[in-house]
Amino acid sequence: MTMRFKLKLFVLLGSLLCLHTSQDFYPGSAEHRCFCQVTGHLDDCTCDVETIDTFNNNHLFPKLQELLKMDYFRFYKVNLNKPCPFWTDSSHCGLRDCAVKPCKPNEVPDGLKSASYKYTEDASRELEECEKLEQLGAVDSSLSEETRQVLLEWSRHDDEADRFCESDDEESPDSQYVDLLLNPERFTGYKGPEAWQIWNSIYEENCFKPCTVKRPLNPLTSYRGEDEGKTFYRWLEGLCVEKRAFFRLISGLHASINIHLSARYLLDDNWYDKKWGHNITEFQQRFDAELTKSEGPKRLRNLYFLYLIELRALSKVLPFFERRSFQLYTGQSAQDQRAKDLLLELLQLADSFPLHFDENSLFAGDREEATKLKEDFKLHFRNISRIMDCVGCFKCRLWGKLQTQGLGTALKILFSEKQIQALPESGHLRLGFQLTRQEIVALFNAFGRISTSIKELETFRKLLSKIK
C-alpha cells in the first residue's frame, strides 16, 4: 500500500470520524472553540487539514528534526545590531531571556567560515578563480576587465532581483554565527505595545489591506464594535487570489510564532531551575474562537496554508540539491555526506505529498498586470523582512529574521521553476538559479518551525480536551 493511498484513506476515515464526533463536543468546550473550524479543505487549495496532520506528524516531522540537528543547519549567521529603518525608537528588551548567545570562533565548523556560495571543498579552493575566469571568461575570454566587472555586477543584481526579502551582509563585522539549538525560540516575556507595533505595522502597511479596515492595536483584546471581529476577514473576499495568499502567509507565520511561544512558555522560574512548557491559557488567548471573535481558528487555518506553500517549495527545489556537484560542506566529510543523504530523503518525501499547492494559480492573469502584482508582492515582503530589524527582543529578532528569510526563499523557489530545471549537473555554481548557505539554512529551519507548530497543535488538542 503506497503512502499516497494510505494518506487518502486516512483522510476519508478522518472525515467520517469528524462528522460523528463533532456532535459529541460540548459547544462551549475549550477544544471545540479553538479547533471548531480547523478541519476539512483549505481555501484556494485542494488539500485538507487532516492530510497535512498525518503527513507531517507521522512522516516528515521526525526526519526534519534529525536534519536540523546537524552542523550545517544549526549554525546561522545573522546581524542583530542593524538599526530599525522605519522608526527611531531603538529601545531593546532588557529581559534576560531575550538575550542571544553568539558562537565563539572555535565553536563553528571550519567549513562554514567561508563565503556563502562555497558548497564543496573543491569549490572553496577554486571559488575566486571560478568567479573571475570560468564564469566571466566563459562568456567571452576577450572581454576587458572593466566589462567583466560590469557583468559580475549584473549577475549580483539579477540574484538580488530574484529575492523576496532583505538579507544581512555576512561580511559585516556585526554579523555573528548563532547556534540555533542553543538559542531556541520560546516565550521571553517580550510583549505589550512594542511587540504589537511590529505586527500592526506588518498588517496595516504591507498586507494589501484597505485603510478602512482597522485591526485592534492589541490583538488579544476584544474589538470595539460588536461585529468588527466577524467582519474583519470579509475584506479578503474582494481581493485577488495573490493578495489573499499574501495575507494568509503572514497570518500563518504569525500563528506559528504564537504557537511556539505558547508551547515553550516559562512556567516556573526559581533560583535553581527553569521550567518551560505548554501554556494552555496563552494558547486560548490567541486562538480561542470566543476570545478572538472567531478570528483564532482562521489563524490556524492560515498556518496550514503556509505549510503547503513551504512544502511545495521543498518539492520544487529537489533537482537543485540532487546534483552531484552539490554538497553540504562543513569540512567533516562523513557528516556532510550523511547530511546530504538525509536532505534528499526529506525532499523526496516532500515531493511524494499527494495534494500539493498549485502555484500556477498565482500571477496567471494578464501578463503586464501579473508582473506588476509580483513586484508588489516582492516589495511588501521585503518591507516585512526589514521590519524584523525593529524587534526589540534579540531572540525574537533572530527567529523573526530567520523565518521571514526562509519564507522569502520558499517564494523565490516557487517562481524559479524553469531556472531550477535548467541547472547543469556540475560546474558554473553561480550561473542561473542559486541559493546561498544562509538561504538554505533559513529555508529548512523556517519550515522546521512550521512543521513543529503543526505537531504542537496535536498536543494542544489533547490538553484542551481535558478542560471541561
Residues annotated in the binding site for FAD, as ranges? 186, 188, 199, 251, 254, 286
C-alpha cell read off for 27: 459547544
C-alpha cell read off for 227: 461585529
What stretches of 190-332 show up as alpha helix (H) in DSSP? Answer: 193-206, 228-231, 241-263, 280-287, 295-316, 318-322
Longest dimension (CA), the chain: 79
Enumerate residues 6+ apart whose C-beta is below 8 A from 242: 362, 363, 373, 374, 377
Alpha-carbon distance of 169 to 218, in angstroms, equals: 34
Residue 7 and residue 51 in contact, taking contact as beta carbons nearer than 8 Å: yes
Residue 40 and residue 14 in contact, taking contact as beta carbons nearer than 8 Å: no
Q: CA torsion 26→32→37→38, rounded to 10°?
A: -140
Amino acid at 70: M
Active-site residue among 45, 47, 93, 393?
Answer: 393
C-alpha cell read off for 178: 548563532
**How many C-beta atoms lie closer than 10 Å to residue 38's C-beta?**
21
Among candidates 331, 204, 255, 319, which has minimal Cα distance to 34? 255
Active site residue 207: no
Active site residue 393: yes
Which residues are annotated as catalytic? 393, 396
